[in-house]
Amino acid sequence: MGMSIRRLAAACGAEVIGADLVRPLDAAAVQQIHRALGEHGVLLFRDAGITPEQHIAFSRQFGPLEAHVVGEFHLAGHPEVFVVSNVREEGRLKGAVYAGQYWHSDLSYMSKPSLGSLLLCREMPEVGGDTMWANMYLAYETLSGPMKRFLGGLKAVHDYSHAYDTYFAALKERPPLTPEQKAKTPPVEHPVIRTHPVTGKKALYVNPGFTTGFAGMPEEESRPILDFLFRHATRPEFIYRHKWSVDDLLFWDNRCTMHYALADYDFTVRRHMHRTTLAGDEPF
């Protein structure tokens, strides 16, 4: 049986049916998934049931992988796998707790942000712990003509430290970035409106987690516009919300979506995930 794509929601998201995650895909299947990713923003592979080695091998079929700057949360023996987890063993967290509990696009703070991420669910509470994705194509397309023209000439500043200065500031489990980590992640500038290299469509490219302002514009001018764009981009009709099951693998496109991990579950219940990250290119 061939591979097929089934939409999951009106906003974004689709399920890939019939893909073999263990054996190498042929070139046509890789191309089909690449195209579906750009069109739908988020792809679901159910019942993945793959090992870390298989997770890495499957991911590499779509491009080179990169390791996260916070190296203490890499999976032992597999630096390509970033662990997102509230699980403790011998008093030590096994992964990044509170990760992604704000709207963001992975690694937008890098000069070449990630193409996409592949997150595999290992353990999940029965209630809560969903993840939401916002369609940034729709966020752009539904702006007025004057706003599109205004934003089209701007660049935005993205800074990883912003997440630590705001969302993580009061969380002892997420200590401040080290000087070495900050040196690897200086503020960068990207177009506010970026063009997707596969679909050719335009998407809004700012996010609350890492975007601090517009290049050359003071805070008092930037902030009201950013606040509007953040509200606009997260309108309910632009969002796909996924309820996780163990062995779900979600592959999302950071070039045309942003996402938010909901912290609405009992943190004494185990939530444990493995993520690989595909290297990207410079936004244009």
**Pick from 99, 101, 61: nearest CA to 82:** 99
Which tokens belong to 5?
A: 């794509």
| Selected catalytic residue, list 106, 159, 248, 253 | 106
Which H helix or E strand runs over 242? strand 239-242
- Both tokens of 196, joined, read 């997707």
**What residues contact residue 15 under an 8 Å CB cut-off, 6+ apart?**
5, 6, 7, 8, 43, 44, 45, 46
Query: Is residue 26 annotated as part of the catalytic site, yes or no?
Result: no
165 flagged as catalytic: no
Catalytic site residue from 196, 255, 274, 275: 275
Q: Do the beta carbons of residue 10 and residue 26 sit within 8 Å? A: no
Q: Is 275 in the active site? A: yes
Burial of 280 (0-12, 13-18, 19+ CB in 10 A): buried
**Angular region, 138: left φ>0, alpha ψ -120 to 50, beta rest:** alpha
Buried b (16+ CB within 10 A) or exposed e, 135-149: bbbbbbeebeeeeee
First to last CA, the chain: 38
What are the residue ranges of helices labelled H in 178-242?
A: 179-184, 219-233
Annotated active-site residue in 68, 104, 255, 274: 104
Active site residue 259: yes
- Catalytic member of 255, 259, 271, 274: 259
Residues 6+ apart with CB under 8 A from 32: 3, 5
The residues that are catalytic are 104, 106, 259, 275
